[in-house]
Amino acid sequence: MNNYFLKPFCLHSTILFYHFSTSFILSTSPTSTKTYLFLISVAPVQSFISEARKTHDLFAGSRILSEMTNEGMKIFTTLNEGINKEKGVVIFPNPENESKPNRFLGEIKGTENELRKLGQKIEEKIRGKFEKFGEDALKKTSLNYEIEKRKNKFEDEKEYQKEREKVKEEFKQEFDNQIRNHLEISWLFEEIKDDDYKTAYKNIETHLEAVKNTRGFDAFTEIGRKCSIDGKNNALLFGNKSKTPFYF
C-alpha cells in the first residue's frame, strides 16, 4: 500500500507538526534516501537583550547562544550510530567562525526516520549543554537557604537537617525546571527537489517561521515572589543586604 505523507516534517518542543498545503507528496517508499535542507533556530534572543543590566550580560547572552549553535553543528556534521549514515554539511554560518548566530542551515542526505531522529538528538544535545551551563553556575554560587536563619527554632538537629534537605530538593527541582524550559528550539527538514535550492530555501524559511509561531510550553506553579530581573520566573535566590531587596 502506498504511504501518503506531507512535507516538510519537523519537530518543535518534542511535538511533531506537519505543515498542510494544497498539495501533498505521494511516496511509494517513505524510507528512501533524499537530500534535505536543515534549519534550526535557538531562542530566546530578545529576553537576553532586554534583561541585560551590563555590557557583560549582553556578551554572555550572545556567547551562550553561540555555544548552543556550535553544539548543534557538531552533532549535525557527525556520524551518529543508529541515526544518520551520512554527515551533514553546514551551509551557514562558517563553522570556523568563533562567534555564531542563534541558527544554522545545512544540507544532508537521509531518510525521514533517520533525519527525524537526528533532529531530536540535536535538540537534546543543545538542551543538555544549556543545562550543564546552569549546573556549573549553581556550583559556583554560595547558597544560604532561608531555613538556615531559623535553625535555632528547631529543637531537634535531625528535624532541622531533614527540613533543610527538603528545602534543597525543592529548590533544585524548581531550578532544573526553569533551566529546562528556558530555551525555545525550532527545527525542520525541507526536501530539495530537482536540485532547486532556491525554492527549498525559501520554503524552509517560511515553514520555520510557522513552526516558531506555534509555541509549546509547560505549565508551572506560581510560588512566592517573582524574579526581579525577568519578572516571569519564580524567585529562587533572595538578597536583602541592599536597601531594595532583590529576588532572582
**Contact yes or no for 110/38 (Cβ under 8 A):** no
77, 95 in Cβ contact below 8 A? yes
CATH number, domain with residue 62: 3.30.70.2220
Contact by Cβ (8 Å): 106, 37: yes
User: What grid cell was written down for 82?
Assistant: 543508529
* pLDDT, tens digit (0-9, with 9 covering 90-100), for 40-80: 999 888 777 777 778 888 888 889 999 999 999 999 999 98
| Mean pLDDT value of segment 7-17 | 37
Predicted model pTM: 0.74
Q: From 58, 44, 40, select the one nearest 108 (Cα to Cα).
A: 40
Bigger pLDDT: 163 or 233? 163
Residue 37 lies in a domain: yes
Interatomic CA distance for residues 89 and 2, integer angstroms: 31
Q: Are residues 62 and 78 in the same domain?
A: yes
- Is 50 exceeded by the pLDDT of residue 24? no
Pair 233, 213 in one domain: no
- Residue 244: domain span: 224-248
Q: How far, in Å, CA of 126 to CA of 199, rounded? A: 29
Look at the chain and report how many structural domains it folds into: 2
**Do 7 and 106 have their domain in common?**
yes
